[in-house]
Amino acid sequence: MTFDYELTLIKLIFSENDMGDSISTEEHSNILCDVVSVTRSEHYAAASHGMKPEIVFIVNQYDYNKQSMVEFEGNKYNVIRDYKQKKSKGIYDFETIELICSGIVNDGDSNG
């Protein structure tokens, strides 16, 4: 597994402005990742719950801190779920997490 792609993890931080209105800001962290396709079983399992996974990013578990959004090649995605493999296929799999994501359109509404 090679981490040949750059991924931006996005954490939403909520606060209030001077008028008491709730506002959100984004905290960005750039990391390296690998990109894989959504498996057929993942696609159908998610579809049964009304979700549409589009892409899977494999990241170092120490880089990921439960961020809810990511940006990759100019597109934003919601993290549907994260998954840490129980069995390792290789030595690097012990320290990685899969981020299963769906695309964001229209100011944050997930396509679905």
For residue 40, the domain's CATH number is 2.40.10.270
Non-local CB neighbours of 61 within 8 Å, separated by 6+ positions: 84, 95, 96, 97
CA 24 to chain centroid, in Å, comes to 19
**What is the residue range of 66's domain?**
5-15+22-110
In the chain, the number of structural domains is: 1
Please measure the distance between the N-terminal and C-terminal CA atoms of the chain and give it in whole angstroms: 31
Question: Cα(92)–Cα(107) distance, rounded to whole angstroms?
Answer: 36
Non-local CB neighbours of 83 within 8 Å, separated by 6+ positions: 97, 98, 100
- The β-bridge partners of 102 are 78
Q: What is the pTM of this model?
A: 0.78
Which tops the pLDDT comparison, 28 or 53?
28
What is the average pLDDT across 72-94?
Answer: 79
**Percentage with pLDDT > 70 across the chain:** 72
